[in-house]
Amino acid sequence: MDSFSPSPGTSPATAPSNLMRACQGCNGAKVKCTARADDDSNSPLRCARCFRLKKECLPILPKTRKRRSPNAITRTANLEKKLEDLVSLLAAQQQPSSTFVSPAPVSGEDLHDNHYSRASSIPSSQTVSAFEAVELLTRYRTCLTPNFPFVIIADDMSAQQLQQQKPYLFESILMAASYRDPDCQAAMAKEILRKLTTSIVLKAESNLDILQALIVYIAWFHLHSHIRQVTSVLHLAMGLVSDLGLKNPQLKEKRDVIGYTINSETRIEQNGEVHSPDEKRAFLGCFMLASMASMCLKISDGFRYLPYIDTCCDSLSSQAGHNSDYILSVSVRLQGIIERMQDTFSHGHGASKDCRPPLYLQVNFYCKELELFKSSLPLHIQQDYHIALQYHNAKLNLYESVIQKTPNSDYTPASLQQLDMLHGCVLACKQFFDVCFMMTPENFATLAFLDFGRLGYALATLFKLSLFEAPGWDLAHVRKTIDLSVVLGRLIYQFERTINPATTRQDIAQANDAFTLGARRLRRVKEWVDANPPATEHGAEKQSHGAFLPFSDFGNFDMNDPCHFFDEISWQEITGTLDIVP
**Mind giving me the DSSP string for 449-504?**
HHHHHHHHHHHHHHHHHHTEE-TT--HHHHHHHS-HHHHHHHHHHHHHHHS-TT--
| 442 domain-assigned | yes
CA distance 226 to 470: 36
CA distance 407 to 127: 59
Q: Which residues, at least 6 apart from 175, have a Cβ–Cβ distance to it below 8 Å? A: 125, 185, 188, 189, 192, 216, 217, 224
- Is the whole model's pTM more than 0.75, yes or no? no
More confident position, 407 or 200: 200
Q: Mean pLDDT for the chain?
A: 74
Q: Which residues, at least 6 apart from 460, have a Cβ–Cβ distance to it below 8 Å? A: 559, 560, 561, 562, 564, 565
pLDDT digits (tens, 9 = 90+) for 465-506: 888 877 777 888 889 999 999 999 999 998 888 875 545 444
Q: Check if the beta carbon of residue 116 is closer than 8 Å to that of residue 179.
A: no
Local confidence band at 119 (pLDDT 50, 70, 90 cut-offs):
very low
Local confidence band at 540 (pLDDT 50, 70, 90 cut-offs):
very low
- Secondary structure (DSSP) of 33-98: --EE--S-TTSPPEEHHHHHHT----BPPPPPPPPPPTTPPPHHHHHHHHHHHHHHHHHHHHTTTT
pLDDT for res 215: 95
Q: Check if the beta carbon of residue 217 is closer than 8 Å to that of residue 196.
A: yes
pLDDT for res 19: 46
CA distance 366 to 576: 40
pLDDT for res 298: 61
| Percentage of residues of the chain with pLDDT beyond 90 | 26
| 233 domain-assigned | no
In which domain, by residue range, is 26 found? Answer: 1-61
Between the alpha carbon of residue 300 and those of residues 292, 304, 340, 461, the distances in Å are 11, 10, 14, 20
| 285 domain-assigned | no
What count of other Cβ atoms lies within 10 Å of the Cβ of residue 487? 23
pLDDT for res 37: 64
H helix runs in 352-445, sequence order: 359-375, 379-382, 385-399, 401-404, 415-436, 441-445
Cα atoms in the Cβ-side hemisphere of radius 13 Å centred on 261: 6
| 131 domain-assigned | no
Q: Which residues, at least 6 apart from 120, have a Cβ–Cβ distance to it below 8 Å? A: 104
Question: What sign does the CA torsion over 35, 36, 41, 45 have?
Answer: negative
pLDDT higher than threshold 60 for residue 413: no
CA distance 252 to 267: 9
Taking each helix axis as running N to C, give the angle between helix 385-399 and helix 325-347, from 0 to 180 degrees, rounded to the nearest 10: 10
CA distance 121 to 188: 11
Domain count, the chain: 2
Q: In angstroms, what is the C-alpha Rg of the chain?
A: 35
pLDDT higher than threshold 50 for residue 263: no
Q: What is the mean pLDDT of residues 442-446?
A: 85
Cα 356 from chain centroid?
A: 36
| 462 domain-assigned | yes
The residue from 39, 61, 83 where one domain ends is: 61
| 145 domain-assigned | no
- Secondary structure (DSSP) of 148-181: -TTS---TT--HHHHHHH-HHHHHHHHHHTTTTS
Q: In one letter, which amino acid is 451?
A: D
Q: Is 413 left (phi over 0), alpha (psi -120 to 50) or beta?
A: beta
CA distance 18 to 8: 14
Q: Check if the beta carbon of residue 529 is closer than 8 Å to that of residue 485.
A: yes
The residue from 43, 61, 79 where one domain ends is: 61
More confident position, 330 or 546: 330
CA distance 124 to 138: 19
The residue from 14, 38, 61 where one domain ends is: 61
CA distance 265 to 268: 5
CA distance 24 to 50: 10
CA distance 158 to 166: 12
pLDDT higher than threshold 50 for residue 406: no
More confident position, 519 or 336: 336
Q: Which residues, at least 6 apart from 324, have a Cβ–Cβ distance to it below 8 Å? A: 145, 146, 149, 152
| 33 domain-assigned | yes
CA distance 73 to 157: 53
Angle at 382 between CA 381 and CA 388, to 5 degrees: 115
pLDDT higher than threshold 80 for residue 297: no
| 565 domain-assigned | yes
DSSP character at residue 142 = I
CA distance 248 to 274: 9
pLDDT for res 255: 45
46 phi/psi in degrees, rounded to 5: -135, 155
Q: What is the number of residues in the chain?
A: 582
